[in-house]
Structure formats: C-alpha cells, structure tokens
A and B are shown apart, each in its own frame.
Chain A
Amino acid sequence: MLIAALPLLEAGSIEAIEWSFDALFKHQGIPQWFSDLLGAFASEGRLVGHGVYYSMFSGAWKKEQGEWLENLRQTRNSYQFAHITEHFGFMTGQDFHKGAPLSVPYNASTLRLAKDRLLRLSEASACPVGLENLAFSYSLDDVRRHGDFLQELVSTVNGFIILDLHNIFCQVQNFQVDFDKLLNSYPLDLVREIHISGGSWEAAETSPNRPVRRDTHDNAVPEHVFDYLNVALDKLPNLKFVFLEQMGFTLAEQTRKQQFQSDFTRMQQIVKNSSAAALHTNSFDLTPPARLPDPPYEDRLLARQQAELSSILENSTSLTEVSDSLRTSSLARSDWKIEEWEPMMLETAFQISQKWKDGF
C-alpha cells in the first residue's frame, strides 16, 4: 500500500490517512519511520483511526474487548486521532482476532448492547467516534432498517457515520434497491467520513444468474461508486474526510499501483470540484460519563446464538448442511428471522466465514 501511495505522498496529494491501529495490537513495535508518518498527519488533525476487531455486537463481554480498549488508550496517547471508527456487527470466530464480520438482529437488546460498547469506545478514544455502514445484510428488510438503527445507536455518544459507498454499491447490487432511496435512508447529517473502494463479484450456486457483490477491497473503484460519490457529496453537511481503501497485497503489480493512484486522483478531483459547502454544524464531540456502566451489559441468548451461528458457518461442509442446521437451531423463529434470509446471502456468509475462520 505504501509503495503504491508513495508518489502521492511525495506530491503532497494525500491530505489525511486512516490507520487500522488494531491490526498491529498483536505485534511488537512499529518502525520509527512509520511512527513518524503517523505523527506528521496526527499533528495536523489528519490522522483517523479505524478499528476492525472490537466486535461491538458480541453478546458476551469478552476480556479481549477490555484489552482492546486498553490498547486503544495507549495508542491514542501516542497519536492524536481526529476521530476513531469501528465496524457494525460481530466477529464470528471464537478467537477474538479470527472470524468474519456479520450482522445481528435489530432489536432493543442489540441496541442496548451496542450502546454500552460504543460508550466504552468513546471513553477510551477521548475523541469523536463513529460506525461504518454494512456491506453485508441477510435480507432486504435489514438493508432498509440499517440507517435508522445506526442513527439511534450513534446518537448515544453524539457519534457519526462512515458512509462506505462501495458497501452501498454491494447492497444496491445484491438486493436490487434504488441507490437514491437507499442513500436517503441513512442519517446523512451524521456522515463525517466517506469510504470508496473496489470489490469483486462472487458466483453463487443459489443465484446462478446474478453474482454476489463482495466488499473485498481488491480491485479498482467501480464507475458506479464514483457516480455515487458525486451525488453524495452534495448531501453531507458534516463531511470531513474521504478515503480510498485497497488491500496492500493487491497492489504488487505496477499496473495495479497505477490504477490505485489514478483512482485516488479521480476521487480527489471529484471532491475538489464539488460545490457542496462543508457546514460542520456538528463537531461530534462528547463528554463521556464519569463512570461507565459496570458490569458491561450482556445478552446471553444473543451470545449463544452467535456461537451457534458461527459454529454452523465455520464447520459445515456444504450450504445444504448450513441450511439444515440453522432450521433446527436456536436462531429459527427468532429475531434473527433466518426464514427471511436471502439464500445467496446465506451462501455468502458461509463463504466469508470459511475464508476468515483461521484469521488473517
């Protein structure tokens, strides 16, 4: 990634960087030059932290989550982040750093659970915090309700939303929904950051005529996503950052590096040419409470169901086995509404879980 981005850094074109700080929690130390790079952007309020492994919708409170927060406290003492973000959902793996990110039912208990975790994230971050919209949903109903649920959740901490436009593209393609309607279903005044990226098409047995769009960050940004950026910029009064994401390992070839640089330049031009005024009426600051709820809220039923779902997805040998096991599981006829899950998305959940069950 840095080799591909180096010409852009040398040209002074990169105005902010986003760092997935928790990917390095398990490693000892970072090179001085990398620390200096982070520090240079941090000193100007241009460093953003993007967590991956907090797993804020895990029904049970895990000691690893406490350790994750403590690591975050230490990291933000070294680098001043403009804000910290995390992902919506829970990690399927039993091991905290393994597994795939999946969604949860949108109900009162999951809302209460995530509010508890978000409050802890806010306290540990000591800066504005936000959550990213999902790329993956089980059903059309989930897609339609996601924006409202996000709004209710982040309002707990005066938080904001990352609007990932490739994730929106995935939802539009996989559920055949209208982009404008979907965009307007999100609380657009709470969007402080945009992500754009590429992804991939995955063939699905359950959808022979239409492949599944996956958020794999391994290709160029699709034309649709640039179009979405053009449209979205006019609707986001509190937008502050726009980031291009791509997996570093996909940038080995020179042509890939050039494509990445071209995508970045195009993104930058679209942002510069936008006539939208950044009003920044919300700073998304928060004074955390003096004391956090103790003990952390837990939903034991949700935790059991998540463990059961993870086990089924990771240990089954076929999609038929997954379907059969789910029908007789505790998730059947529950708020998970597995009876309404799109078969192609269940197949995708199976594929994602198999892909990530051993970690990265």
Chain B
Amino acid sequence: MKLSSNLLAAIALGVAIGSLTTSCEQQDQVPVVHDLNCPDDCTSEHDGHEGGGEEGGGEMEWCPACGMG
C-alpha cells in the first residue's frame, strides 16, 4: 500500500527522534527481563539494547506481541 510522502517523512522523523531520545535511563523506568540490559552505570546512547533501545518508536518497541512461547 502506498503511503503519502508526508506520512513517510513523519514516520522517518519519528523513529529517528525515538532513536535519539531512547536511553538507558529511560529504560530503567520500565522493567525488562532480557539478559542484555544495560549496566547500572550506563549513560550512553547505543545500539543493541533489548527491550526497546535503539529501535526508536519509544514505548512501541517494548511491545511483546507474541513471541513469549
């Protein structure tokens, strides 16, 4: 399905902003149970967090959907 260029630009900006603003400090507010959480003293923004780090979109990336089996 074709999306408008305005919407695509807004999505691109939205996920980019989410990527910039998601930090370990934010993650600490929501408990996650995976094995690769940031250490307590981590303050940097970086790739590879589990549970919603780099991917942007903020809270939407914590969505478990299925995959719990």
Q: Which residues of A contact B (CB under 8 A)?
A: 1-4, 6, 9-10, 12, 14-16, 20, 23-24, 27, 30-34, 36-37, 40-41, 44, 46, 50, 52, 87, 100-101, 132, 134-136, 164, 167, 170, 195, 197, 214-218, 245, 247-249, 251-253, 352, 355-360
Is B39's beta carbon under 8 Å from chain A?
Answer: no
Contact B67 A247 (CB under 8 A): yes
> In the complex, A2→B57 CA distance in Å?
7
The docked-state distance in angstroms from the alpha carbon of A9 to that of B1 is 8
Please name all residues of chain A whose beta carbon is closer than 8 Å to the beta carbon of B63 when the two chains form the complex.
20, 23-24, 248
**Please, how many angstroms separate the alpha-carbon atoms of A14 and B7 in the complex?**
14
What DSSP secondary structure best describes chain B's contact surface? loop
In the assembled complex, how far is the CB of residue B15 from the closest CB belonging to chain A, in whole angstroms? 5
- List chain A residues, Cβ under 8 A from B55: 1-4, 248-249, 251-252
A-B contact count (CB 8 A): 148
- Given A12-B3, A23-B62, are A248 and B69 neighbors across the interface (CB < 8 Å)? no
| Interface bits B28-69 vs A (CB < 8 Å: 1, else 0) | 000111100000000000011111111111111111111111
- How far, in whole Å, are A31 and B21 apart by their CA atoms in the complex? 14
From the candidates B18, B19, B51, name the one contacting A249 in the complex (CB within 8 A). Answer: B51
How many whole Å from A150's CB to the nearest CB in chain B? 16
* CB of A213 to closest CB in B, whole Å: 9
Asked if B56 and A3 make an inter-chain contact with CB atoms under 8 angstroms apart, the answer reads yes
In the complex, besides A12-B1, A248-B61, A249-B52, 9 extra interface pairs with C-beta distance below 8 angstroms are A1-B61, A16-B1, A23-B63, A33-B11, A197-B67, A217-B65, A217-B66, A248-B57, A358-B31
Q: Interface size for chain B: under 10, 10 to 19, 20 to 34, or 35 or more residues? A: 35 or more
Please report the C-alpha to C-alpha distance between residue A279 and residue B27 in the assembled complex, in whole angstroms.
47
A36-B62 contact given A217-B67, A249-B53, CB 8 Å threshold: no
A2 with B56, Cβ < 8 A, contacts A9-B11, A52-B64, A249-B34 known? yes
Q: Inside 8 A of A216's CB, which chain B residues have their CB?
A: 67, 69
For B3, the chain A residues whose CB sits under 8 A away are: 9-10, 12, 37, 40
29 of the cross-chain contacts (CB-CB < 8 Å) are A1-B57, A2-B15, A2-B60, A3-B19, A9-B3, A23-B60, A27-B59, A30-B59, A34-B57, A36-B10, A37-B7, A37-B11, A41-B1, A46-B1, A52-B64, A101-B69, A134-B69, A164-B66, A215-B67, A216-B67, A247-B65, A247-B67, A248-B55, A248-B61, A249-B34, A249-B50, A252-B54, A355-B33, A358-B31
* A249–B34 alpha-carbon span in the complex (Å): 10
Given contacts A215-B67, A360-B51, contact A6 B7 (CB under 8 A): no
| Contacting pair A249 B49 (CB below 8 A) | yes
